[in-house]
Chains A and B, each alone.
Chain A
Amino acid sequence: MKLLKKIAFITLIASLLLAGCSSSKDKSNKHNERNKDELVLAFDSEPETGFDPTTGWGRYGSPLFQSTLLKRDDKLNIVNDLATSYEVSEDGKVWTVKLREDVKFSDGEPLTASDVVFTFETATNNGSVVDLNGMEKVEAVDNYTVKFTLKKAQSTFVNSLAATGIVPKHAYGADYAEKPIGSGPFELVQWDKGQQLIVKANPEYYDKQPNFKKITLLFLNEDAAFAAAQAGTVDLAYIPAAFSNQKIPGMKLESVQTVDNRGIVFPFVKSGGATADGLPIGNDVTADPAIRHAINIGVDRQALVDGVLEGHGTPAYTSVDGLPWWNPDTIIKDADLEGAKTLLKEAGWKDTDGDGILNKGSLKAEFTLYYLANDAIRQSLAISVVDMMKPLGINIKLEGGSWDMIAKKMYSNPVLMGWGSHDPHEMYNIYSGESAGIGYYNTGFYENKTVDDYFAKALSATSEQDAIEFWKKAQWDGTTGLSAKGDAPWAWLVNIDHLYLVKDELDIGDQRIHVHGHGWPATDNIVEWKWAN
């Protein structure tokens, strides 16, 4: 009996050992099997509308298949890509761009000014997320010169030139989004919707050839991506913060700073108004600046970063933290409950009926905060903020919903939203009086004449450098501004670091500050990725 047990035990151990050996062997084999010039990446978001830059492809990350007139370098400066130079007229309305003459599409046809004109005209007519409202017309001066005429000066137009990939006029059809042809570093090999995208290097590419000849992008949800990383089948995987504490042998965790921010947008005006569609505007409680400031001061941003994001994030004070046009003076002291209480008291908020919630006249410091229900991070942030505000006597009720549902409530209730872009025009969109109530832009109907003046000046500047000064002043000029020091129409909470599990030997270069969106921003510099040794 005893002997039998012993034998069984030894067999068990031996088989375990053997299994251990064989699996480690498998792993090393797998690694060698794949060619050194191939990469497998796992992202959780798929560009479902396809790869047509005129309908929005390439906003986040590299457009892969197409190239743009201008681009941003690792320091976020604008540099030439297809363009060799560009000039802006004195009044800022006419932009003249000269093109390289040696560029060919992946089908061998040369890229000329007519393709650029075609791209921008198609994008305007498509009426998609690509915002070219400021452009009046685009014309080809000669084969390699394009002239853009704007309705009025708009310094941020440079971002349209940096974000819109050029499509070929001769090969653009209804199925272009699925079979893109362009002048970018890669060519599409195969796209299995919902599963994967396979691309190969474009031999016609005019600039530095990428180090990898073939890249497979797998569209996996977060769990599957993590499992794939554990199994060693991917070289890079986008993962959520919840998985960041687990080590995977052979992979390192790359944490990239972002402006992928989350914050609460407050209705800025008193209730009573309604949009053209009959949706109510305004909220009496959040229209009181004391409430907005108290929340901004009272919330403990670092605790949110540590608690909700597992430390992988940064406190957010504006929508543009860390970008060249960010004004660092907007940083405020937070987690200051006493300060917030004093502020509320001075503004006349008192708990008169003893229910723990402040009152002011007939008003009760109470509102409903809406958040996107299927986003775990937004939910966790919302729940935490609610609990942080309770000691102040501000009672926040929570309601989760879909964007469709939130869209009906967002003009009269605070919403947990997120933005983040390399285009300063986004700041204009979410804070200017002119964009109040346009879709998800400026849902709080925030308006400040001084801020709008700075915006106007920033937009009419003829270069981004000149504009930056005004962008900064719009945030805080010493007396007023759109940040928490000024009017506080938002309570920004956190910037969410983007986390990637990356094979130890893979070098993904200097990642610039990432924008909103999962996974794709990492591909911005994909041409520079290489094996370390």
Chain B
Amino acid sequence: MIKKFPLNRKQRTLVKIIISIIFLVTVILGGVLLDEDKIVTNLSERNSAPSLEHLFGTDWLGRDMFTRTVMGLSLSIGVGLIGAIGSASIALLLGMAAATMGKMADRIISWVIDLFLSVPHLVTLILIAFTLGGGFKGIVIGLTLTHWPSLARVIRAEVMQIRSAEFVQVSQKMGKSRWWIAVHHILPHIVPQLLIGFMLLFPHVILHEAAVTFLGLGLSPHEPAIGIILSESMKYLSSGMWWLAFFPGLCLLIVVRTFDQIGENLRVLMDPTRNHD
């Protein structure tokens, strides 16, 4: 029998963080070091299965799939980072504003949050990206503007809770300004929530970026975005070229899954009282 090493949650999270760091480093380094010359077409080496020379095989124009995958992932992660940071900032701003700026502001912001939550992300995303004329900019702005509502709601609830805490009440009575209270009392308490929210947003944003590029919106089809690579490979699947979709898809899955789990585990670790929900 194989001896099992049961890892507790902390250790498991640590392992995942290491995996994701390795991934991030490869992808970011890859994105920087590999320039476009590496995905040059080579019509004499088309459709070759994975080998030592081409780890992920080559596509129908003889481009190295490993390089394309790495470039696609680095694009995706870049988009994911910008989108998640943007979304988290919007969520923080609106969540705080809703909870501190009075009844009217709260009502309006809650209404906007509900509005955005009532329509599927992808639909608003496509709509916004399309209105902005597609392209990298359109997708990033679209992603930023669509992913904040659920986090904003969490932050709003959190702020409400802290606001009614005694130390805040005391501060208020002592005549501190709203701004002072927000920065000194409330913000420090919601940083963990924000961080976890960000970690959970990140894979979500990447996935949606892949979905939008898969649908052929936004980026030009020759650019190495993971969604584009996947959608292109679809029609070669029936001719047996499994590696075109398998490796990029697997990499996307690993990235999204590890980041999602890190976020999830961090949430539990940082906030044991909510462990049950």
Q: Identify the A interface with B (CB < 8 A).
A: 222-223, 226-227, 240, 242-243, 245-246, 303-304, 306-308, 373-374, 376, 379-380, 382-384, 387, 390, 398-401
Contact present for B61 and A373 (CB under 8 Å): no
Complex contacts, B61 vs chain A, CB 8 Å: 307-308, 380, 383-384
Known interface pairs A243-B238, A307-B41, A387-B41; 16 further A-B residue pairs with C-beta atoms within 8 A, sorted by A's residue number: A222-B235, A223-B235, A226-B238, A242-B239, A243-B239, A307-B61, A373-B220, A373-B221, A374-B216, A382-B222, A384-B61, A387-B40, A398-B222, A399-B220, A400-B220, A401-B220
Which of A306, A380, A382 counts the most chain B CB atoms within 10 A? A380
Complex contacts, A387 vs chain B, CB 8 Å: 40-41
- Pairs A–B under 8 Å by Cβ, sample size 30: A223-B238, A240-B235, A242-B60, A242-B239, A243-B238, A243-B239, A245-B239, A246-B239, A303-B43, A306-B43, A307-B43, A307-B61, A308-B43, A308-B61, A373-B220, A373-B221, A374-B216, A376-B235, A379-B221, A380-B60, A383-B41, A383-B61, A384-B41, A384-B43, A398-B220, A398-B222, A399-B220, A400-B221, A400-B222, A401-B220
Complex contacts, B40 vs chain A, CB 8 Å: 387, 390
Q: How far is the CB of B266 from chain A (nearest CB, A)?
A: 40
CA of A373 to CA of B40, assembled, Å:
19
Complex contacts, A303 vs chain B, CB 8 Å: 43
Q: Which of B189-225 contact A (CB under 8 A)?
A: 216, 220-222
Tier of interface size on chain B:
10 to 19
Q: How far is the CB of A135 from chain B (nearest CB, A)?
A: 42
Complex contacts, B232 vs chain A, CB 8 Å: 376
Q: How far is the CB of B68 from chain A (nearest CB, A)?
A: 12
Say what secondary structure dominates the interface of chain B. loop
Complex contacts, A399 vs chain B, CB 8 Å: 220
Say what secondary structure dominates the interface of chain A. helix
Q: How far is the CB of B261 from chain A (nearest CB, A)?
A: 35
Contact present for A373 and B238 (CB under 8 Å): no
Q: How far is the CB of A279 from chain B (nearest CB, A)?
A: 17
CA of A379 to CA of B238, assembled, Å:
20
The A-B contact count (CB < 8 A) is 52
Q: How far is the CB of B85 from chain A (nearest CB, A)?
A: 28
Complex contacts, B236 vs chain A, CB 8 Å: 242
Q: Which of B62-111 contact A (CB under 8 A)?
A: 62
Q: Which of B221-274 contact A (CB under 8 A)?
A: 221-222, 232, 235-236, 238-239
Complex contacts, A308 vs chain B, CB 8 Å: 43, 61
CA of A382 to CA of B41, assembled, Å:
11
Question: Which residue from A242, A304, A307, A383 sits with its C-beta under 8 Å from B222?
Answer: A383
Complex contacts, B46 vs chain A, CB 8 Å: 307
Complex contacts, B41 vs chain A, CB 8 Å: 307, 383-384, 387
Complex contacts, B222 vs chain A, CB 8 Å: 379, 382-383, 398, 400
CA of A243 to CA of B43, assembled, Å:
17
CA of A285 to CA of B5, assembled, Å:
66
CA of A222 to CA of B221, assembled, Å:
19
Give the nearest-CB partner of A372 in chain B.
B221
Give the nearest-CB partner of B42 in chain A.
A387
Interface pairs A-B: 3 shortest CB-CB:
A307-B43, A400-B220, A387-B41
Q: How far is the CB of A109 from chain B (nearest CB, A)?
A: 48
CA of A308 to CA of B239, assembled, Å:
15
Give the nearest-CB partner of A303 in chain B.
B43
CA of A319 to CA of B100, assembled, Å:
70
Give the nearest-CB partner of A305 in chain B.
B43
Which of B60, B222, B239 counts the most chain A CB atoms within 10 A? B222
Give the nearest-CB partner of B43 in chain A.
A307
CA of A463 to CA of B62, assembled, Å:
49
Complex contacts, B216 vs chain A, CB 8 Å: 373-374
CA of A273 to CA of B221, assembled, Å:
31
Contact present for B220 and A242 (CB under 8 Å): no
Q: How far is the CB of A313 from chain B (nearest CB, A)?
A: 13
Q: How far is the CB of A165 from chain B (nearest CB, A)?
A: 35
CA of A379 to CA of B60, assembled, Å:
12
Complex contacts, A227 vs chain B, CB 8 Å: 238
Q: How far is the CB of A474 from chain B (nearest CB, A)?
A: 33
CA of A62 to CA of B231, assembled, Å:
35
Contact present for A307 and B62 (CB under 8 Å): yes
CA of A384 to CA of B44, assembled, Å:
12
CA of A149 to CA of B238, assembled, Å:
55
Q: Which of B137-175 contact A (CB under 8 A)?
A: none
Complex contacts, B239 vs chain A, CB 8 Å: 242-243, 245-246
Contact present for A242 and B235 (CB under 8 Å): yes
Q: How far is the CB of B49 from chain A (nearest CB, A)?
A: 14
Complex contacts, A400 vs chain B, CB 8 Å: 220-222
Q: How far is the CB of B71 from chain A (nearest CB, A)?
A: 14
Complex contacts, A398 vs chain B, CB 8 Å: 220, 222
Complex contacts, A242 vs chain B, CB 8 Å: 60, 235-236, 239
CA of A398 to CA of B219, assembled, Å:
11
